[in-house]
């Protein structure tokens, strides 16, 4: 520890002790009736809000007590602890209260940390709450991330209680989106009916009044007639309302007129139409010349059904891979590649590894580093379920590179690499395909036997 760091820690520790003993404290913050004695200079150092308050001639300059009416006491206590101790224990239960307090007190660093925590801990059970919270607070980047997440995971979002707590206009606006990742419109109808049946004693009748307008947000002709009939039979809210019954009958008539397809004016949602793509994740040595004068590093997808080409960010962009050796698309459609680290990353590493990256569409097409494995080359990468396999290739054994039958596996949930059953023979430069949850190794080169 250098002298400057040690000096700062001593100062921080002494300020903490002085606050605990209320020595030289010159202001008392009051939130929800709880008093917090502290030092104006410390508050001013961390909060522009307090700095302006104490230096611009306002009444609070001379007041001993300052009342913070919009700040929860528990959040204020944690922020003061952060100022004096640098410790900020964020949890899913306290992060929104702390971020509101940090926003009001203009503590940008804390506010940023709170947003990062909410982003990293976002899931289907809380993304809706995070979205509306961030939107109301003006945290546009967090709101955009949460909105993308809830659209992408809408089926899982519908299985959680949070969506049932929305107001009618909020749910209606969500259901108008073409970007909801649902494979069947039945999911949308189900969540509407669950939302209505989730009524409390105070809002039950009001929710039922919103049912017709919400039904019009559902693309009912995309739902099978049998499912619509069953929904009518099992939901008294549909049977007891003439307008709702008329909407459902119109949908049944539409599906009867178009038994094999929905009316053309109805647009499919994002997850209803999928296209098989061929992926090309290339390296140096060929391709279309880019505007920078060298060979293009952008990877692309080709849709055989339409002949169209779509571009994705190359794993060679930035500090990811310098060379792509192998790749695989998992059964969950995750694109994963393996190769050697780029020059800038290698400059910070002592040894060369196999670097594994995953394509992240939800973060605007970036590549996320998953894990590293012991170096080898001329291998293949396979996947079954949530498990990756590094198969064969050349590895350094006894100070020389030898073709190997070694197979290692790694769970996409995390953890160490583990040995798997070896190949029946040593192979390099081979290919691999997956079919019916089995991996098949084809071709390749084996060591010459003398």
pLDDT in tens, 267-291: 889 888 777 888 888 654 444 444 4
Q: Across the beta sheet with 278-280, what order do the strands follow?
A: 278-280, 299-303, 308-312
> Going by C-beta distance under 8 Å and a sequence separation of 6 or more, which residues neighbour residue 116?
none
Residue with tokens 């104006």: 40
Report the C-alpha gap between 228 and 56 in whole angstroms.
67
Question: Which residues, listed in sequence order, are joined to residue 117 by a DSSP beta bridge?
Answer: none
Fold annotation for 313-442: Neuraminidase (2.120.10)
| Contact present, 325 and 340 (Cβ < 8 Å) | yes
pLDDT in tens, 196-212: 988 654 555 688 899 99
Q: What is the mean pLDDT of residues 41-61?
A: 87
Report the C-alpha gap between 157 and 174 in whole angstroms.
12
Query: Residue 155 has which token pair?
Result: 């089926």
Q: How confident is the model at residue 154 (pLDDT cuts 50, 70, 90)?
A: very high
Q: How confident is the model at residue 260 (pLDDT cuts 50, 70, 90)?
A: very low
pLDDT at 226: 87
pLDDT at 294: 43
Instruction: Specify the CATH number of the domain 1-121.
Output: 3.30.710.10
| Contact present, 171 and 138 (Cβ < 8 Å) | no
Q: In which element (H, E) is residue 109 found?
A: helix 108-120
pLDDT at 202: 54
Domain boundaries, the chain: 1-121, 166-273, 313-442
Q: How confident is the model at residue 142 (pLDDT cuts 50, 70, 90)?
A: very high
pLDDT at 257: 61
Better pLDDT: 1 or 367: 367
| Contact present, 407 and 439 (Cβ < 8 Å) | no
pLDDT at 292: 43
pLDDT in tens, 12-36: 778 888 888 878 888 999 999 999 9
pLDDT in tens, 119-138: 999 999 999 999 999 999 99
pLDDT at 219: 94
Q: How confident is the model at residue 258 (pLDDT cuts 50, 70, 90)?
A: low
Better pLDDT: 12 or 317: 12
Report the C-alpha gap between 42 and 206 in whole angstroms.
51
Residue with tokens 């007891």: 240
Query: Residue 352 has which token pair?
Result: 């060369």
Q: Is the pTM of this model over 0.75?
A: no
Is the pLDDT reported for residue 238 higher than 80? yes
Q: Annotate 276-295 with b (16+ C-beta within 10 A) or e (fewer).
A: ebeeebbbeeebeeeeeeee
| Contact present, 254 and 263 (Cβ < 8 Å) | yes
Is the pLDDT reported for residue 361 higher than 80? no
Is the pLDDT reported for residue 295 higher than 80? no
Report the C-alpha gap between 406 and 377 in whole angstroms.
12
Q: Across the beta sheet with 366-374, what order do the strands follow?
A: 321-329, 335-341, 353-360, 366-374
| Contact present, 348 and 302 (Cβ < 8 Å) | no
Report the C-alpha gap between 176 and 188 in whole angstroms.
10
Better pLDDT: 123 or 437: 123
pLDDT in tens, 389-418: 999 999 887 778 899 999 999 998 888 999
Q: Is 407 exposed, middle or buried (CB count within 10 Å of its CB: 0-12, 13-18, 19+)?
A: buried
CATH for 166-273 (1.20.1420.30, 1.20.140.10, 3.40.120.10, 1.25.40.420): 1.25.40.420
Q: Find the helix packing angle between 3-20 and 73-85, rounded to 10°.
A: 140
Residue 361: DSSP 8-state:
G
Q: What is the dihedral angle through the alpha carbons of 248, 253, 255, 260, rounded to the nearest 10 degrees?
A: 170
Contacts 24+ apart (CB under 8 A), 433-438: 434/328, 434/331, 434/382, 434/383, 434/384, 437/384, 437/385, 438/384
pLDDT averaged over the chain?
Answer: 85
Residue 405: strand, helix, or coil: coil
């Amino acid at each position: 520890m250098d002298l400057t760091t040690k000096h700062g820690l001593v100062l921080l520790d002494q300020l903490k002790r002085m606050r605990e003993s209320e020595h030289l404290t010159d202001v008392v913050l009051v939130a929800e009736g709880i008093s917090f004695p502290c030092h104006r200079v410390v508050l001013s150092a961390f909060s522009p809000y307090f700095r302006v308050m104490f230096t611009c001639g306002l009444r609070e300059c001379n007041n001993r007590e300052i009342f913070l009416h919009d700040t929860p006491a528990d959040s204020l206590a944690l922020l003061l602890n952060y100022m004096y101790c640098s410790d900020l224990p964020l949890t899913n239960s306290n992060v929104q209260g702390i971020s509101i307090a940090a926003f009001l007190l203009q503590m940008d660093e804390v506010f940023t940390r709170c947003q990062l925590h909410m982003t990293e801990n976002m899931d289907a059970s809380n993304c809706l709450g995070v979205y509306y919270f961030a939107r109301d607070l003006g945290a546009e980047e967090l709101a955009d991330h949460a909105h993308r997440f809830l659209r992408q995971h809408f089926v899982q979002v519908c299985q959680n209680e949070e969506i049932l707590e929305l107001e009618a206009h909020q749910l209606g606006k969500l259901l108008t989106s073409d970007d909801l990742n649902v494979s069947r419109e039945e999911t949308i109808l189900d969540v509407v009916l669950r939302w209505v049946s989730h009524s409390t004693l105070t809002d039950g009748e009001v929710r039922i009044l919103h049912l017709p307008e919400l039904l019009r947000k559902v693309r009912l002709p995309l739902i099978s007639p049998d499912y619509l009939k069953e929904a009518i039979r099992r939901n008294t809210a549909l049977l007891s309302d003439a307008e709702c019954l008329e909407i459902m009958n119109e949908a049944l008539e539409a599906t009867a007129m178009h038994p094999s397809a929905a009316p053309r004016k109805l647009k499919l949602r994002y997850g209803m139409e999928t296209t098989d793509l061929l992926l090309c994740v290339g390296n140096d040595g060929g391709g279309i010349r880019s505007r920078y004068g060298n060979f293009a590093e952008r990877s692309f997808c080709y849709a055989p059904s339409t002949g169209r080409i779509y571009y994705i960010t190359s794993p060679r962009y930035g500090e990811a891979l310098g060379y792509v050796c192998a790749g695989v698309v998992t059964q969950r459609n995750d694109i994963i590649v393996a190769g050697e680290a780029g020059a800038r990353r290698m400059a910070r590493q002592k040894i060369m590894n196999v670097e594994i990256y995953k394509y992240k569409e939800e973060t605007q097409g970036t590549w996320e580093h998953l894990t590293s494995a012991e170096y080898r080359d001329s291998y293949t990468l396979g996947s079954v379920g949530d498990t990756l396999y590094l198969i064969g290739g050349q590895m350094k054994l006894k100070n020389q590179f030898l073709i190997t039958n070694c197979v290692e596996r790694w769970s996409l949930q995390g953890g160490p690499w583990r040995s798997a059953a070896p190949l029946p023979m040593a192979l390099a430069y081979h290919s691999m395909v997956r079919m019916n949850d089995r991996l098949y190794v084809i071709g390749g080169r084996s060591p010459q036997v003398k």
